[in-house]
């Protein structure tokens, strides 16, 4: 069975602080994909990053960085020098192929408040 | 512009009535998904479809039905059997090839049953 756990329900920071959002996953598949999505108040989810299970390289994109560690089944997301526009709900997701197609499940999400 | 269109954005229905939520995509994606979002519970998978005329139950399929007669369309019917249908519903699509499986989401339909 697949499971994604985002233990942090809400995080509140002051602008310019760094913040890390945690994601822990469970799967028996050897080939799988991990994702982070951002959901602004408008409701539409926006894709941020994808990682496959064979690629443990960390990635940096501007103020965003991701740390993938298979040994601890974690895929954490760090925002450096946070800004008010980063306020949103962030979802971690896990996808693997099952009968009939790719099945993607999501964590419960972490709501991030960035105060000016 | 390519994308996913969900309609309507807000939907009100009386208890006991079936209601169908529309989802159309022009991204030429093979796979389509329906999720339900409730406060504090993230997104839960209702149904997913890899190809036309085939679909699979997700984790919370009871009380819902879907069809996939065309590649572009994946409507979701919330039946009267769904005990707590009030929620935010999100449709997504993806091109499920290796290394290329991120999903694109519609703007969602907020269903309220009164």
Q: Which residue among B42, B90, B108 sits closest to A109, beta carbon to beta carbon?
A: B42
Task: State the pLDDT at residue B1.
Answer: 64
Residue of A nearest to B43 (CA): A106
Confirm if B20 and B76 have CB atoms less than 8 A apart: yes
Q: How far is CA A68 from CA A10, A19, A79, A96, B12, in A?
A: 22, 16, 15, 17, 42
Q: Coil, strand, or helix at residue A68?
A: strand
Instruction: Say how far apart CA B5 and CA B32 lie, in whole Å.
Output: 12
SS (H, E, C) chain B: CCCEEEECCEEEECCCCCEEEEEEECCCCCEEEEEEECCCCCEEEEEEECCCCCCEECCCCCCEEECCCECCECCEEECCCCCCCCEEEEEEEECCECCECCCEECCCEEEEEC
pLDDT digits (tens, 9 = 90+) for B24-80: 999 999 899 999 999 877 899 999 998 899 999 999 999 999 999 999 999 999 998
Q: Which residue has the tokens 């939907």?
A: B11
Give me the tens of pLDDT residue by residue for chain A, a chain 116 residues long. Answer: 789 999 999 999 999 999 999 999 999 998 899 999 999 988 889 999 988 898 888 888 899 999 999 999 999 999 999 999 999 999 999 988 877 777 888 999 999 999 99
Residues of A in contact with B96 (CB under 8 A): 97, 101-102
Q: Do A47 and B41 touch (CB under 8 A)?
A: no
The backbone region for A115, taken as left when phi is positive above 0, alpha when psi lies in -120 to 50, beta otherwise, is: beta
Confirm if B7 and B89 have CB atoms less than 8 A apart: no
Residues of A in contact with B94 (CB under 8 A): 102, 104
Name residue B47's beta-bridge partners. B34, B57
Q: Do A100 and B55 touch (CB under 8 A)?
A: yes
Q: Which residue has the tokens 């890899």?
A: B50
Q: Do A102 and B48 touch (CB under 8 A)?
A: yes
Query: Is residue A56 reached through a cis peptide bond, with omega within 30 degrees of 0 on the bond before it?
Result: no
Name residue B100's beta-bridge partners. B97
pLDDT digits (tens, 9 = 90+) for A35-65: 999 999 888 899 999 888 988 888 888 999 9
């Amino acid at each position: 069975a697949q499971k994604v756990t985002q233990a942090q329900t809400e995080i509140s920071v002051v602008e310019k602080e760094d913040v890390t959002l945690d994601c822990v996953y469970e799967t028996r598949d050897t080939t799988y994909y991990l994702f982070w999505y951002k959901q602004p108040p408008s409701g539409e989810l926006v894709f941020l990053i994808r990682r496959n299970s064979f690629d443990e390289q960390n990635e940096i994109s501007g103020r965003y960085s991701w740390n993938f560690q298979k040994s601890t089944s974690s895929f954490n997301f760090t925002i450096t020098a946070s800004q008010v526009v980063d306020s949103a709900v962030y979802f971690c997701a896990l996808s693997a192929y099952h009968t009939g197609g790719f099945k993607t499940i999501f964590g419960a999400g972490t709501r991030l408040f960035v105060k000016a | 512009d390519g994308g996913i269109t969900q309609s309507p954005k807000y939907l009100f229905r009386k208890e006991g009535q079936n209601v169908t939520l529309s989802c159309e995509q022009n991204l030429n994606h093979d796979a389509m998904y329906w999720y339900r979002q409730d406060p504090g519970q993230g997104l839960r998978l209702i149904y997913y479809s890899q190809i036309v005329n085939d679909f699979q139950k997700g984790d919370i399929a009871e009380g819902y039905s879907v069809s996939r007669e065309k590649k572009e369309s994946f409507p979701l019917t919330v039946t009267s059997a769904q005990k707590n249908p009030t929620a935010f519903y999100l449709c997504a699509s993806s091109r499920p090839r290796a290394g290329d499986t991120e999903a694109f989401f519609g703007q969602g339909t907020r269903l309220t049953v009164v």
